[in-house]
């Protein structure tokens, strides 16, 4: 899951809303959310301003949430949303669980393919 999706869900924003804030349509924003590397500099700045985070947080390859120093004004969570809701954690965890399940399925599929290839190579020798 991209940082952009996590930030959007934590703030309870829709893709349509975020898209309108950075000046693109929803389908374009959906593509950006899946592949943040296609962001223009001005879009990165607008997203950082919208979510009240640094540009580095928008461009970071993975989600980084700090649970230390979570008093008001400190820590990543408070910078994202002063009224952080536990449901956001549940969404993040559920998404990660789905991602883990998908990856395990991909691993099993690749193992089967690998075994088939090894068997074919063994037959040719």
Tell whether 112 and 65 lie within a shared domain: no
**For the chain, what is the domain count?**
2
Write down the pLDDT at residue 125: 65
Same domain, 13 and 66: yes
Range of the domain at 98: 86-125
Residue 61: its pLDDT value, please? 63
My answer on whether 90 and 76 are in the same domain is no
Q: Is the pLDDT of residue 116 over 50?
A: yes
Same domain, residue pair 31 and 53: yes
49 and 64, same structural domain? yes
Q: In CATH, what number is assigned to the domain containing residue 77?
A: 1.10.260.40
Digit-coded pLDDT (tens) for 3-12: 888 889 888 9
The separation between the first and the last C-alpha atoms of the chain, rounded to the nearest angstrom, is 44
Q: Are residues 33 and 75 in the same domain?
A: yes
15, pLDDT greater than 80:
yes
1 and 39 part of one domain: yes
Give burial (CB, 10 Å; 0-12/13-18/19+) of 122.
exposed
Name the residue with higher pLDDT: 16 or 76: 16
Percent share of the chain, pLDDT over 90:
34
d(CA 67, CA 37): 28
* Cα dist from 66 to 74, 77, 79, whole Å: 10, 7, 11
Residues 114 and 68 in one domain: no
Q: How far, in Å, CA of 113 to CA of 66, rounded?
A: 40
């Amino acid at each position: 899951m991209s940082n952009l999706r996590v930030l959007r869900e934590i703030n309870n924003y829709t893709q349509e809303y975020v898209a309108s804030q950075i000046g693109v349509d929803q389908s374009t924003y959906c593509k950006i959310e899946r592949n943040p590397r296609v962001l223009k500099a001005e879009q990165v700045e607008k997203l950082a301003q919208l979510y009240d985070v640094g540009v580095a947080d928008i461009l970071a390859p993975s989600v980084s949430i700090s649970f230390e120093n979570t008093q008001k004004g400190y820590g990543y969570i408070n910078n994202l949303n002063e009224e952080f809701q536990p449901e956001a954690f549940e969404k993040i965890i559920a998404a990660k669980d789905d991602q883990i399940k998908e990856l395990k399925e991909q691993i099993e599929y690749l193992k089967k393919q690998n075994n088939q290839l090894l068997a074919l190579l063994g037959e040719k020798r």
